[in-house]
Structure 1
Amino acid sequence: MDLSTTIIGVAILVLCLVPLALANNKKKKKQQQLLQALMGLAESHYCKITQYDLWQNTAIGIDENAGCIFFVKKSDGANSLEKVHLAAIREAYSKGDPDPAAAEKLELVLVHAGAKELDVVLEFYNPEVAMQINDEWILIKKWQDIIQQAIRK
Protein backbone atom coordinates (compact mmCIF):
# COMPACT_ATOMS: atom_id res chain seq x y z
CA MET A 1 0.00 0.00 0.00
CA ASP A 2 2.85 2.43 0.80
CA LEU A 3 4.61 1.77 -2.49
CA SER A 4 1.49 2.42 -4.57
CA THR A 5 0.79 5.67 -2.67
CA THR A 6 4.38 6.80 -3.27
CA ILE A 7 4.18 5.97 -6.97
CA ILE A 8 0.89 7.87 -7.34
CA GLY A 9 2.34 10.84 -5.43
CA VAL A 10 5.44 10.94 -7.62
CA ALA A 11 3.32 10.65 -10.78
CA ILE A 12 1.11 13.57 -9.70
CA LEU A 13 4.18 15.63 -8.84
CA VAL A 14 5.71 14.94 -12.25
CA LEU A 15 2.43 15.84 -13.98
CA CYS A 16 2.40 19.17 -12.16
CA LEU A 17 6.08 20.05 -12.65
CA VAL A 18 6.48 19.14 -16.33
CA PRO A 19 4.12 21.89 -17.64
CA LEU A 20 5.81 24.45 -15.38
CA ALA A 21 9.25 23.46 -16.65
CA LEU A 22 8.07 23.59 -20.27
CA ALA A 23 6.52 27.03 -19.76
CA ASN A 24 9.72 28.29 -18.14
CA ASN A 25 11.82 26.98 -21.05
CA LYS A 26 9.48 28.62 -23.55
CA LYS A 27 9.75 31.95 -21.71
CA LYS A 28 13.55 31.76 -21.62
CA LYS A 29 13.65 30.94 -25.33
CA LYS A 30 11.43 33.95 -26.14
CA GLN A 31 13.62 36.23 -24.04
CA GLN A 32 16.74 34.89 -25.75
CA GLN A 33 15.22 35.60 -29.18
CA LEU A 34 14.27 39.10 -28.05
CA LEU A 35 17.79 39.74 -26.76
CA GLN A 36 19.26 38.45 -30.02
CA ALA A 37 16.99 40.82 -31.97
CA LEU A 38 18.15 43.74 -29.81
CA MET A 39 21.82 42.80 -30.16
CA GLY A 40 21.37 42.28 -33.90
CA LEU A 41 19.79 45.71 -34.31
CA ALA A 42 22.69 47.30 -32.45
CA GLU A 43 25.29 45.37 -34.46
CA SER A 44 23.65 46.40 -37.73
CA HIS A 45 24.43 50.00 -36.69
CA TYR A 46 27.97 49.08 -35.57
CA CYS A 47 27.09 49.45 -31.90
CA LYS A 48 27.30 47.23 -28.85
CA ILE A 49 24.65 47.08 -26.13
CA THR A 50 26.15 47.95 -22.74
CA GLN A 51 22.93 47.89 -20.71
CA TYR A 52 19.49 46.42 -21.48
CA ASP A 53 16.14 45.28 -20.09
CA LEU A 54 13.64 42.71 -21.37
CA TRP A 55 9.93 42.47 -20.53
CA GLN A 56 6.82 41.06 -22.16
CA ASN A 57 7.69 41.16 -25.88
CA THR A 58 9.86 44.25 -25.58
CA ALA A 59 13.55 45.05 -25.18
CA ILE A 60 15.46 48.29 -24.73
CA GLY A 61 19.19 48.79 -24.67
CA ILE A 62 21.84 51.47 -24.82
CA ASP A 63 25.30 51.75 -26.26
CA GLU A 64 26.77 54.26 -23.84
CA ASN A 65 29.91 54.77 -25.94
CA ALA A 66 28.05 55.56 -29.17
CA GLY A 67 25.18 57.33 -27.38
CA CYS A 68 22.42 55.29 -29.02
CA ILE A 69 19.20 53.77 -27.70
CA PHE A 70 17.80 50.63 -29.32
CA PHE A 71 14.21 49.48 -28.84
CA VAL A 72 12.58 46.26 -30.06
CA LYS A 73 8.90 45.42 -29.67
CA LYS A 74 7.46 42.21 -31.08
CA SER A 75 3.73 41.83 -31.56
CA ASP A 76 1.53 39.57 -33.67
CA GLY A 77 3.84 39.22 -36.65
CA ALA A 78 4.94 42.86 -36.67
CA ASN A 79 8.23 43.97 -35.20
CA SER A 80 8.95 47.54 -34.21
CA LEU A 81 12.65 48.42 -34.29
CA GLU A 82 13.91 51.84 -33.22
CA LYS A 83 17.38 53.36 -33.08
CA VAL A 84 17.72 56.79 -31.53
CA HIS A 85 20.94 58.78 -31.45
CA LEU A 86 20.94 60.63 -28.14
CA ALA A 87 22.90 63.59 -29.51
CA ALA A 88 19.67 64.64 -31.25
CA ILE A 89 17.54 64.32 -28.09
CA ARG A 90 16.87 67.23 -25.75
CA GLU A 91 14.93 65.41 -23.00
CA ALA A 92 13.09 62.24 -22.07
CA TYR A 93 9.86 62.00 -20.11
CA SER A 94 7.34 59.32 -19.24
CA LYS A 95 3.75 59.59 -20.37
CA GLY A 96 0.85 57.66 -18.86
CA ASP A 97 -0.61 56.65 -15.52
CA PRO A 98 0.89 53.70 -13.60
CA ASP A 99 -2.50 52.98 -12.00
CA PRO A 100 -3.85 49.73 -13.55
CA ALA A 101 -7.39 51.07 -13.23
CA ALA A 102 -6.53 53.94 -15.60
CA ALA A 103 -5.86 51.42 -18.40
CA GLU A 104 -3.80 53.70 -20.57
CA LYS A 105 -0.52 53.33 -22.40
CA LEU A 106 2.81 53.89 -20.70
CA GLU A 107 5.25 55.55 -23.06
CA LEU A 108 8.72 57.01 -22.92
CA VAL A 109 8.86 60.14 -25.07
CA LEU A 110 12.20 61.33 -26.44
CA VAL A 111 12.01 64.98 -27.45
CA HIS A 112 14.22 66.01 -30.37
CA ALA A 113 16.43 69.06 -29.98
CA GLY A 114 15.34 70.31 -33.39
CA ALA A 115 11.78 71.57 -33.68
CA LYS A 116 11.39 70.06 -37.16
CA GLU A 117 11.89 66.48 -35.97
CA LEU A 118 9.05 64.41 -34.54
CA ASP A 119 9.38 63.10 -30.99
CA VAL A 120 10.20 59.42 -30.63
CA VAL A 121 7.62 57.49 -28.61
CA LEU A 122 8.66 54.14 -27.11
CA GLU A 123 5.67 52.11 -25.92
CA PHE A 124 6.39 50.28 -22.65
CA TYR A 125 2.82 49.12 -21.92
CA ASN A 126 -0.37 48.92 -23.94
CA PRO A 127 -3.59 47.71 -22.25
CA GLU A 128 -4.83 46.35 -25.57
CA VAL A 129 -1.87 43.93 -25.71
CA ALA A 130 -1.14 43.05 -22.07
CA MET A 131 -3.74 42.53 -19.40
CA GLN A 132 -1.87 44.05 -16.46
CA ILE A 133 1.06 46.29 -15.64
CA ASN A 134 3.98 44.40 -14.13
CA ASP A 135 7.29 46.24 -13.84
CA GLU A 136 6.77 48.59 -16.75
CA TRP A 137 6.44 51.73 -14.59
CA ILE A 138 9.68 50.93 -12.78
CA LEU A 139 11.43 50.25 -16.09
CA ILE A 140 10.15 53.42 -17.74
CA LYS A 141 11.46 55.53 -14.84
CA LYS A 142 14.78 53.67 -14.88
CA TRP A 143 15.26 54.27 -18.62
CA GLN A 144 14.13 57.88 -18.33
CA ASP A 145 16.96 58.41 -15.83
CA ILE A 146 19.49 56.48 -17.94
CA ILE A 147 18.64 58.56 -21.01
CA GLN A 148 18.68 61.86 -19.11
CA GLN A 149 22.15 61.03 -17.74
CA ALA A 150 23.39 60.06 -21.21
CA ILE A 151 22.05 63.32 -22.69
CA ARG A 152 23.90 65.38 -20.06
CA LYS A 153 27.27 63.80 -20.98
Structure 2
Amino acid sequence: MELGTTLIGIICVAICAMPFVLTNRSRKKIVKHQLIALKDLAKQHNCEITQHDIYSYYAIGIDEFNNSISFISKDEEAVKEQFINLSTISRCKIVNISKSRGKSGKQIDELYLKLSFIDKTKPDIMLEFYNTEVSYQLGEELQSIDKWNKIINNLLKVKE
Protein backbone atom coordinates (compact mmCIF):
# COMPACT_ATOMS: atom_id res chain seq x y z
CA MET A 1 0.00 0.00 0.00
CA GLU A 2 2.81 2.44 0.86
CA LEU A 3 4.53 1.67 -2.43
CA GLY A 4 1.37 2.62 -4.35
CA THR A 5 1.00 5.89 -2.42
CA THR A 6 4.67 6.75 -2.96
CA LEU A 7 4.37 5.98 -6.66
CA ILE A 8 1.27 8.16 -7.01
CA GLY A 9 3.06 10.98 -5.14
CA ILE A 10 6.08 10.77 -7.44
CA ILE A 11 3.87 10.81 -10.53
CA CYS A 12 1.93 13.84 -9.25
CA VAL A 13 5.15 15.76 -8.53
CA ALA A 14 6.48 14.90 -12.00
CA ILE A 15 3.27 16.09 -13.66
CA CYS A 16 3.32 19.36 -11.68
CA ALA A 17 7.02 19.98 -12.46
CA MET A 18 6.70 19.25 -16.19
CA PRO A 19 5.44 22.72 -17.28
CA PHE A 20 8.37 24.39 -15.48
CA VAL A 21 10.90 22.06 -17.06
CA LEU A 22 9.44 22.54 -20.55
CA THR A 23 9.30 26.34 -20.13
CA ASN A 24 12.91 26.44 -18.98
CA ARG A 25 14.07 24.32 -21.92
CA SER A 26 12.14 26.51 -24.36
CA ARG A 27 13.67 29.67 -22.86
CA LYS A 28 17.20 28.25 -23.15
CA LYS A 29 16.56 27.36 -26.78
CA ILE A 30 15.36 30.92 -27.55
CA VAL A 31 18.38 32.46 -25.78
CA LYS A 32 20.79 30.21 -27.67
CA HIS A 33 19.16 31.02 -31.02
CA GLN A 34 19.20 34.78 -30.38
CA LEU A 35 22.82 34.74 -29.21
CA ILE A 36 23.85 32.98 -32.41
CA ALA A 37 21.92 35.56 -34.47
CA LEU A 38 23.52 38.42 -32.50
CA LYS A 39 27.03 37.02 -32.99
CA ASP A 40 26.35 36.48 -36.70
CA LEU A 41 25.23 40.10 -37.10
CA ALA A 42 28.41 41.33 -35.42
CA LYS A 43 30.55 38.94 -37.47
CA GLN A 44 29.08 40.35 -40.71
CA HIS A 45 30.70 43.67 -39.70
CA ASN A 46 33.99 42.07 -38.57
CA CYS A 47 33.14 42.49 -34.88
CA GLU A 48 32.70 40.23 -31.88
CA ILE A 49 30.24 40.44 -29.03
CA THR A 50 32.08 41.11 -25.76
CA GLN A 51 28.98 41.77 -23.63
CA HIS A 52 25.32 40.98 -24.27
CA ASP A 53 21.80 40.73 -22.86
CA ILE A 54 19.09 38.54 -24.32
CA TYR A 55 15.41 38.78 -23.56
CA SER A 56 12.26 37.38 -25.14
CA TYR A 57 11.76 40.15 -27.71
CA TYR A 58 15.23 41.65 -28.15
CA ALA A 59 18.92 40.98 -27.88
CA ILE A 60 21.68 43.55 -27.59
CA GLY A 61 25.41 43.10 -27.70
CA ILE A 62 28.44 45.33 -27.79
CA ASP A 63 31.94 45.07 -29.14
CA GLU A 64 33.89 47.31 -26.78
CA PHE A 65 37.08 47.08 -28.86
CA ASN A 66 35.46 48.17 -32.13
CA ASN A 67 32.87 50.47 -30.46
CA SER A 68 29.86 48.90 -32.08
CA ILE A 69 26.43 47.69 -31.05
CA SER A 70 24.41 44.83 -32.49
CA PHE A 71 20.69 44.86 -31.76
CA ILE A 72 18.01 42.39 -32.77
CA SER A 73 14.32 42.88 -32.03
CA LYS A 74 11.42 40.72 -33.02
CA ASP A 75 7.68 41.03 -33.05
CA GLU A 76 4.92 38.93 -34.55
CA GLU A 77 5.69 40.10 -38.07
CA ALA A 78 9.46 40.30 -38.47
CA VAL A 79 12.94 40.28 -37.03
CA LYS A 80 14.79 43.60 -37.21
CA GLU A 81 18.59 43.68 -37.09
CA GLN A 82 20.54 46.87 -36.44
CA PHE A 83 24.30 47.39 -36.35
CA ILE A 84 25.56 50.72 -35.03
CA ASN A 85 29.10 52.03 -35.19
CA LEU A 86 29.47 54.18 -32.07
CA SER A 87 32.12 56.37 -33.69
CA THR A 88 29.25 57.97 -35.65
CA ILE A 89 27.08 58.53 -32.54
CA SER A 90 27.18 61.70 -30.42
CA ARG A 91 24.84 60.74 -27.57
CA CYS A 92 22.58 58.08 -26.15
CA LYS A 93 19.36 58.75 -24.25
CA ILE A 94 16.41 56.77 -22.84
CA VAL A 95 13.00 57.59 -24.32
CA ASN A 96 10.06 56.56 -22.14
CA ILE A 97 6.63 56.91 -23.74
CA SER A 98 3.92 56.71 -21.08
CA LYS A 99 0.22 57.37 -21.05
CA SER A 100 -1.99 58.35 -18.15
CA ARG A 101 -4.28 55.53 -17.02
CA GLY A 102 -6.69 57.42 -14.78
CA LYS A 103 -6.48 56.59 -11.08
CA SER A 104 -3.76 53.99 -11.63
CA GLY A 105 -1.32 56.71 -12.73
CA LYS A 106 1.01 56.46 -15.68
CA GLN A 107 1.83 53.25 -17.46
CA ILE A 108 4.87 52.75 -19.68
CA ASP A 109 3.81 51.96 -23.23
CA GLU A 110 7.18 52.05 -24.97
CA LEU A 111 10.87 52.18 -24.03
CA TYR A 112 13.57 53.12 -26.50
CA LEU A 113 17.26 53.81 -26.46
CA LYS A 114 17.74 56.81 -28.75
CA LEU A 115 21.11 57.14 -30.47
CA SER A 116 21.83 60.50 -32.09
CA PHE A 117 24.34 60.81 -34.90
CA ILE A 118 27.17 63.31 -34.95
CA ASP A 119 25.92 64.23 -38.42
CA LYS A 120 22.65 66.01 -37.58
CA THR A 121 21.22 65.33 -41.05
CA LYS A 122 20.90 61.61 -40.26
CA PRO A 123 17.79 60.47 -38.38
CA ASP A 124 18.15 59.14 -34.84
CA ILE A 125 18.28 55.40 -34.27
CA MET A 126 15.62 54.06 -31.91
CA LEU A 127 16.33 50.69 -30.28
CA GLU A 128 13.06 49.30 -28.95
CA PHE A 129 13.38 47.65 -25.54
CA TYR A 130 9.68 47.46 -24.68
CA ASN A 131 6.34 47.93 -26.41
CA THR A 132 2.93 47.05 -25.00
CA GLU A 133 1.88 45.89 -28.47
CA VAL A 134 4.50 43.11 -28.31
CA SER A 135 4.77 42.31 -24.60
CA TYR A 136 1.94 42.98 -22.18
CA GLN A 137 4.00 42.96 -19.01
CA LEU A 138 7.04 45.08 -18.27
CA GLY A 139 9.79 42.87 -16.84
CA GLU A 140 13.49 43.56 -16.62
CA GLU A 141 13.43 46.03 -19.50
CA LEU A 142 13.83 49.09 -17.22
CA GLN A 143 16.98 47.71 -15.62
CA SER A 144 18.29 46.58 -18.99
CA ILE A 145 17.77 49.92 -20.72
CA ASP A 146 19.43 51.78 -17.81
CA LYS A 147 22.38 49.41 -17.96
CA TRP A 148 22.88 49.80 -21.70
CA ASN A 149 22.41 53.56 -21.57
CA LYS A 150 25.28 53.75 -19.04
CA ILE A 151 27.50 51.36 -21.02
CA ILE A 152 27.03 53.26 -24.28
CA ASN A 153 27.44 56.70 -22.70
CA ASN A 154 30.63 55.56 -20.99
CA LEU A 155 32.03 54.42 -24.33
CA LEU A 156 30.99 57.72 -25.93
CA LYS A 157 32.79 59.66 -23.16
CA VAL A 158 35.96 57.62 -23.65
CA LYS A 159 35.75 58.35 -27.38
CA GLU A 160 35.84 62.12 -26.73
**TM-score class normalised by the smaller sequence:** over 0.9
TM-fit CA distance, 1:116 = 0.5
TM-fit CA distance, 1:97 = 5.5
> In the aligned structure 2, how far is the partner of 1:150 from the partner of 1:103?
28
**Alignment map for 1:91-106 (pairs within 5 Å):** 91-96=91-96, 101-106=106-111
Moved over 6 A (4+): none
Letter in 1 for 2:47: C
Q: Name the residue aligned to 2:156.
A: 151
- Report the RMSD for the aligned CA atoms in angstroms: 1.7
> In the aligned structure 2, how far is the partner of 1:10 from the partner of 1:148?
53
Residue of 124, 127, 130 corresponding to 2:132: 127
**Alignment map for 1:1-153 (pairs within 5 Å):** 1-96=1-96, 101-153=106-158
Q: Tell me how many residue pairs correspond in the alignment.
A: 153
Q: Name the residue aligned to 2:102.
A: none
Compute the TM-score of the two structures, normalised by the length of structure 1: 0.94
SS in 2 for 1:111: strand
TM-fit CA distance, 1:13 = 0.8
Contact 2:30 2:56 in 1 (8 A): no
Compute the TM-score of the two structures, normalised by the length of structure 2: 0.90
Paired-residue identity, %: 35
Structure 1 unaligned segments of length 5 or more: list them.
none
